[in-house]
Structure 1
């Protein structure tokens, strides 16, 4: 049984322009001790879905349908107090900016201590000992606990945020773009730290990112979102090496490949649709070079193959041939011309 199972989750935002359907078909699984990457471009609903798993959503957001089953319990419909009891103890969150996780006028060590004492019920001495242990665990000198967040580098702040998320040994850590604002060297250091801790502690991680290289580096499985819907999922190897949805093909082709050094990158033309008025059929159809009339009229279901590789595309059976065509930048240029 999965640690976390999200099934057909739908989340709307009430706006002046009408309901915005931020997540419409949110479906994913996270197994025990697994690192799952949730990937897609900005505005596709990744963060909304990730934050929904903690029950912390904006006031104008409503859960319209679906299930969030954690450790065998469907959290939707349960009292807010019961959901909040899971935070830190069972589910923790590393936000996109480490400065959003740390109070700028509060010493870093004292913030750790507060989580351990108020949420973990530890005494002062035990909390201090655990804080020092957490600092060492993520590669920080415990003596730096007396300093403020602004005295830490970006990488150090991110390590401190990860340490805080692991403070009470949760079963699931949700990390929302944890390395986006860092340079590539520090990105790798932070990702190595996260992966090492995940392996040593056996914690599950849902890693939200728009960066395919991050997914390839640390994730066991991948879930691809587009315009509020999950369009593909499977093992990292299956999804990245043999994508079955054109959007995933486009994402991988838009990323530099060392084996194709000097090759031309092929960006996906256009942008996601307005989710206040989502189009009929496949939401990627207007940007897809392989779209058929059926794609614009009927919504493709998320079909799971025997190996667990799932995709929502009417032409998924043609994926090998389409994937080869998608590697040619001119394929996407034609899309751009027709879209114009």
Structure 2
């Protein structure tokens, strides 16, 4: 197996809120293989967007990377000087934001905004920039005649395509897409996801897709990283984590979304309760207060157990996952008090 493009090891990111510190990411570890799409999935507030932004070191003023490594092509992005980090942004690592309308400047044409990236960051001439802009629009399925239009003249789906074109402008090795289809209707969602997958396959770029929607992960991703309360609960191939999940939280997420194969039958079962306050998280397993399979031992820090090669699980009962999946498939398991 080739070396991963990106290896995150024991990453810790904290926010200072008054005199308190909120550990939004608390020891996250995972790998991003070359030429693949990895889904970073979990509920709102689980830390996935904080992880995504930490990878480019574009985080809030009251946030800081307080530990761990972000190894990208042999460089630790958590420690290199800002000047060196800035040289990697957009050239090697690009970002597709959740709201394309907010990320595009409404007072400039789309061509001007592409030109700014291609000429200032890429060093292209005006003529080369125009040719590349036309090529990028063709890649994302927009007529090049629309280059002189302003963002408000595009639909939501087309603005998202423009954001993808901007991310692809300088042929990065890694694209981080933060909830790129959340604000779109389901038909446009599928079009954008199909476009992203086609481009990823054609260009060989690696993609991190940040989402709360497991059905999106099942549709497009090769690998899955499941986060809960600032920690990685489980990671592995899409097939192994979603078809045969080994962490109770992943089992619960799986039950809360429509059948991944498109079946119309079946009852969607929510996970009762809410994620913990990260300013004062519970001792031991952070999922324990919501977990129907919790035992006394879960009050202690769970170990990372490899249930299969490349499939680590943060759970005391990971080796019992086959039996737990049978119980997790029952609606009454999740409706009963934990």
Gaps of 5+ in 1: none
Are 1:4 and 1:71, in contact at CA under 8 Å, matched by a contact in 2?
A: yes
CA contact (8 A) 1:303 1:311 kept: yes
In the alignment, which residue of structure 2 is the partner of 1:284? 287
Aligned mates of 2:32, 2:140 — CA distance in 1 = 24
Instruction: Tell me the distance in 2 between the aligned counterparts of 1:284 and 1:270.
Output: 10
CA shift at 1:324, angstroms?
Answer: 1.1
* Cross-structure match for 2:134: 132
1:193 to 195, 206, 210: 195
Corresponding residue pairs, total: 335
For 2:246, the equivalent position in structure 1 comes to 244
Which moves more between the two structures, 284-293 or 257-266? 257-266
Which SS does the other structure have where 2:124 is aligned? coil
Quick one: which of 260, 266, 270 aligns to 1:263?
Answer: 266
CA contact under 8 A between 1:17 and 1:276: conserved in structure 2?
no
String of CA shifts for 1:194-225, please: whole Å, max 9, x gaps: 00000000000000000111100110000000
2:230 equivalent in structure 1: 228
Paired with 1:90 and 1:103, the residues of 2 have a C-alpha distance of: 23
Deviations 1:146-199 (A, max 9, x none): 111111000000000000000000000000000000011100000000000000
Tell me if the contact between 1:55 and 1:84 (Cα under 8 Å) persists in the aligned partners: no
Q: Which residue of 2 aligns with 1:93?
A: 95
Q: Is the 8 A contact 1:232 1:312 kept in 2?
A: yes
Q: Does structure 1 retain, via aligned residues, the 8 Å contact 2:307–2:319? A: no
Task: Give runs of aligned pairs for residues 1-340 of structure 1, distance below 5 A.
Answer: 1-16=3-18, 18-257=20-259, 261-296=264-299, 298-335=300-337, 338=338
Instruction: Report the 3-state secondary structure (helix = DSSP H, G, I; strand = E; otherwise coil) of the residue aligned with 2:78.
Output: coil
Unaligned runs of 5+ in 2: none
Cα root mean square deviation, aligned:
1.1
Q: TM-score, normalised by structure 2?
A: 0.97
1:75-96 CA deviation, whole Å, 9 max, x = no partner?
A: 2221111111101100000011
Q: Larger deviation: 42-51 or 8-17? A: 8-17
Moved over 6 A (4+): none
> Which 10-residue stretch deviates more, 299-308 or 36-45?
299-308
Q: What is the CA-CA distance between 1:260 and the residue it aligns to?
A: 5.7
Deviations 1:219-266 (A, max 9, x none): 000000000000100000000010000000000001112676432211
Cα contact 1:232–1:245 (8 A) shared by 2: yes
SS of 2:9's equivalent in the other structure is strand
Tell me by how many angstroms 1:309 deviates: 1.1
Report the alpha carbon displacement of residue 28 of structure 1 after superposing the two structures with TM.
1.3
* Contact 1:109–1:146 (CA under 8 A) maintained in structure 2: yes
Answer yes or no: is the 8 Å Cα contact 2:305–2:318 preserved in 1.
no
TM-score normalised by the chain length of structure 1? 0.97
Counterpart contact for 2:307–2:318, Cα < 8 Å: no
SS at match of 1:250: helix
* Distance in structure 2 (CA, Å) of the matches to 1:224 and 1:150: 35
